[in-house]
Amino acid sequence: MAFGRFQDFLSGLVKRQRRLFSGSEAASIDELLKKLMGTVGEVSGIVTARQVLDHYEDLDDERKLAFFQNLEQNFNANQAVVKLAFDTYENDPSSANLNNLSKAAEPQRHELLRRLNSTPNATHDLVAMRTDLLKLLRDHPELRAVDQDFVRMFSSWFGRGFLVLKTINWSTSAAILERIIRYEAVHAIKDWDDLRSRIDPSNRRCFAYFHPALIDEPLIFVEVALTKKIPTSINSILEDNGAGISDPSEYNTATFYSISNCQPGLKNISFGNFLIKQVVQELQAEFPSLKTFVTLSPIPGFGRWLNTQSAEELAELAEMKERLGQVENSAESTQEHAAQIRKLVFNYLVQAKRGKFPSDSVARFHLGNGASVHQLHTGADLSEKGLKQSWGTMVNYLYDLASIETNHEHYATNGDIEFNDKLKSLLIKA
């Protein structure tokens, strides 16, 4: 409540004081940036920051590009100051001189972002601003330095200590529920009835992280199914309302079947690791009978991988890919070629790499969190999307609480992928 009242006070202050800064309304955004970096008065800085953000929102795509190019070219560290600080540290490598060097080497963009974030509702606007920036990186790689500065700032502002975990249920505000429908990225929610079937039954839970600066805006959310065994298809989850279990103590398995990041502007700001571990704690407190924690995950990169060739690829694997590529991708073929698909999927998960880590984005997420590849299920998602992505196959990643940290260390250090021994026979070796 105190935070909200303070925000209301600042909002009112900005509205009242903006009119006192005559001439600023007609100023260009570059002039406003210079003014913001030169201000010493707190009120003036807050008002100018809001003017910059309002002005940016009205820019067209071409001028937004020019805005980011200005940040890249003119808001770096002062080279002469950096050299002086470096020479001083080289002559006397004391802690004080190291701190001075670190401060001197910090790009002016960091301070600019901090000043922009001083005005009410600025965090929301800056997250939206980075969404624009991410769209420009492919054609303008020189802007990656600017993006890295956004990541550094956001990693601090959205640290674990600021995140609030909330349970999403049918009594949650309509504004948040509407966003859950809109942001669901794994298994589309068709309508309000579909949403209710996922969050209202006794064997369903949904949790989301929020940040105080983004009112009613979930950052990431996870949908959970409570069952008596590990699910083998997405329909077995979506079509189950839990009516067959009257005693909650019968639940022994929690399945994370959908995890959706909600804010594109927070890409590469990690919440998922914290989220899953905290949700496990919440579920264990409510249902002590839960012993198994798994996902039922898509394999989004498998279909694309089938259509690629690599000189480093094992001959047997290349031949299997070619044979499956000649088969029509349909619900019927997933059953007919289940053994071949299963073997290919497993080798894709553990052998197709981007650097030392898996090519598949979902695999990187869960394996990086300390999970292991547990079970594979062909014909688990026969939707158009499921067939296109992975020939209908889904995977259970197991979160074994006793080995999560060890798995994470091995993965982060060496790229090691832990998997169920029962899957070992599927591995194609040289």
* pLDDT digits (tens), the chain, 430 positions: 454 555 555 555 555 555 544 444 557 999 999 999 987 677 888 999 999 999 999 999 999 999 999 999 999 999 999 999 999 999 999 999 999 999 999 999 999 999 999 999 999 999 999 999 999 999 999 999 999 999 999 999 999 899 999 999 999 999 999 999 999 999 999 999 999 999 999 999 999 999 999 989 999 999 999 999 999 999 999 987 666 666 888 899 999 999 999 999 999 888 877 898 899 999 999 999 999 999 999 999 999 999 888 777 888 888 999 999 889 999 999 999 999 999 999 999 999 998 999 999 999 999 999 999 999 999 999 999 999 999 999 999 999 989 999 999 999 999 999 999 999 999 998 7
Q: Whole-prediction pTM value?
A: 0.86
Q: Do domains 2-157 and 302-426 have the same CATH topology?
A: no
CB-CB contact of 252 with 206 (8 Å): no
> Is CATH 3.40.50.12160 the classification given to domain 302-426?
no
161-295, which class in CATH? Answer: alpha beta
Residue with tokens 């031949």: 319
Please return the burial class of 88, using the count of CB atoms within 10 Å of its CB with bins 0-12, 13-18 and 19+: middle
Rounded distance between C-alpha atoms, residue 225 and residue 230, angstroms: 10
Q: Tokens at residue 137, please? A: 């990186």
CATH number of the structural domain 2-157: 1.20.140.90
Q: Which sequence spans correspond to the domains of the chain?
A: 2-157, 161-295, 302-426
- Any idea what DSSP says for residue 115? H
Active site residues: 297, 366
Rounded distance between C-alpha atoms, residue 390 and residue 341, angstroms: 9
